[in-house]
Amino acid sequence: MPRRSYNDESVVATFTEENNSKKKYMSPRSVRLASHDKTRVAYFHDEGVGNYHYGERHPMKPHRLTLTNHLVLNYGLHDKMEIFQPRRATDSEILEFHADDYVDFLKRVTPDNAEQFEQVFSKFNVGDDCPIFPGIYEFCQRYAGATIEAARKLIANGADICINWSGGLHHAKKCEASGFCYVNDIVLGVLELLRYFPRVLYVDIDIHHGDGVQEAFYSTDRVMTVSFHKYNGDFFPGTGHIDEIGSSLGKYYSVNVPLRDGIDDVSYVWLFKEVIDAVIGTFQPSAIVLQCGADSLGCDRLGCFNLSIGAHGKCVQIIKEFKIPLLVVGGGGYTVRNVARCWTYETSILVDTELSNDLPPNEYIDFFRPDYQLHPHLSGRLNNMNDRQYLLKVRERVMEQLRYLDGAPSIQMQEIPPDIQGFLDGDAELRDAEDDSEIGKEHRRRREVMAEAEWYEGDDDNDGEAVDSVWAEDS
């Protein structure tokens, strides 16, 4: 019996029979369109970022970044993009989100002096999952610096799409490491984007829930987080239930799509498109950050899905087609050869270039034996526990949540996300007013307190794309 692919029309039809009438969600005023036809792509890669080592038996292998870059170069994709060697993030940039004592610990601790810091290991969640290895803070500076520089490139309108495969470490918290992640480059990148863009959408297709990013922006309506992940209550990090929807001004702005073991190409791509179409139509983001964790691929060392590289890339293509300023980062992925294949293929999607399935000769070709193919067979290892009824139920729950949102929020009436950003101007009263009541929300809005970002001066300042204020209609 032939394998079903994610674009099998007969299969997709079984999921779409209840949704025949499709809306066109894109609004020109929500998108900063380039004045040219060709998509401008910028690629950020620090040549040293793949040289760090978590430990012999640790599943996280930064060397996968070196393999990815070699495939990108040997396929000739560098000729389709601007290539940048990013600078390292500074202490002050990392402190925009992370706590002083935690950053100081990362700067000072080494394998040689680790015994001196054992009393704070539990405080900062350092141990087996997040070990101390040589150059740990330097490693963080490299991948975080690339994400920050990529965000600034989008702000300056120097590119339509920016790529940093070394980024995407979505578990790190303000005061602690988590899930192989020490510094949350995604949060730092989003904070940069918020200086200019009114609304930022974060989309996560890693098999693990994007808990660190969700937590950072849980109480703001300027960032919507959408995470597709395995969830059963026990699978790391244990968060990501569909009922985690945000709080305070951010209530309903956290969207979680919990999935079961073995989800296949057809089911995943169908649900992804349904959710993303609705989210973008409702939230109307000004910029998007897409985390492409490759541990959601079939045959991943830590994963339990059945996704092919083609289906994983289809999600990237769906996001790209909205033509909204886009920052693409890496994430999880623990079968190194498949991570490199996946991110190389997705780079080709972002630069509109078809690749041969035969891998080009390169220094690390032996990693890809025995098939030496860009698209190995990865699906079918596990039974798909996501039946049609379950997928339709998840879809309906997400649509119900989005119906609580009264269109895209008007930036002129929002507070900037809480003081983790470091660029509020000290309005303590505003920061303390964080309750869910409509009265409290109305009161904050009627006071017309606006915490403006560094370069953003209202909706009329975003390349002429004014978004009508809800309150303007009342005046």
Torsion sign over Cα 91, 92, 98, 103:
positive
Strand order in the sheet with 223-230: 82-84, 41-44, 161-164, 326-329, 287-291, 200-204, 223-230, 254-259
339 — phi, psi (to 5°)?
A: -60, -50
Please tell me which residue in 45, 70, 170, 171 is annotated as part of the active site. 171
- Side-chain-side CA neighbours of 122 within 13 Å: the count stands at 1
* 167 belongs to an annotated ligand binding site: no
Find all residues with CB under 8 Å of 135, minimum gap 6, and list them: 52
432 is in an annotated binding site: no
Helix (H, G, I), strand (E, B) or coil at 202: strand
Q: Could you give the maximum distance between any two Cα atoms of the chain, in Å?
A: 69
Distance CA 391, CA 270 (A): 9
Check whether 179 is labelled as a binding-site residue.
yes
Vertex 274: Cα angle to 269 and 276 (nearest 5): 90
Q: 39 Cβ partners below 8 Å, 6+ apart?
A: 160, 161, 320, 350, 351, 352
How far apart CA 430 and CA 424 sit, in angstroms, is 10
Dist. CA 263–CA 379, nearest whole Å: 9
**Binding residue per annotation — 334?**
yes
Closest CA to 366 of 333, 335, 334, 337: 337
N-term to C-term CA, the chain: 65
Are the CB atoms for 363 and 66 separated by under 8 Å? no
* Tokens describing residue 65: 């970044």
Tell me: is residue 352 an annotated ligand-binding position: no
Which residue matches tokens 């109305």? 442
**98 classed as catalytic:** no
Q: Is 102 marked as a binding-site residue?
A: no
- 464 membership: H or E segment, kind and range: none
Burial of 84 (0-12, 13-18, 19+ CB in 10 A): buried
C-alpha torsion 40→206→384→12, nearest 10: -30
Binding-site members for a divalent metal cation are: 206, 208, 295
Binding-site members are: 129, 179, 206, 208, 295, 334
Instruction: Please give the positions annotated as active site.
Output: 171
Binding-site members for substrate are: 129, 179, 334
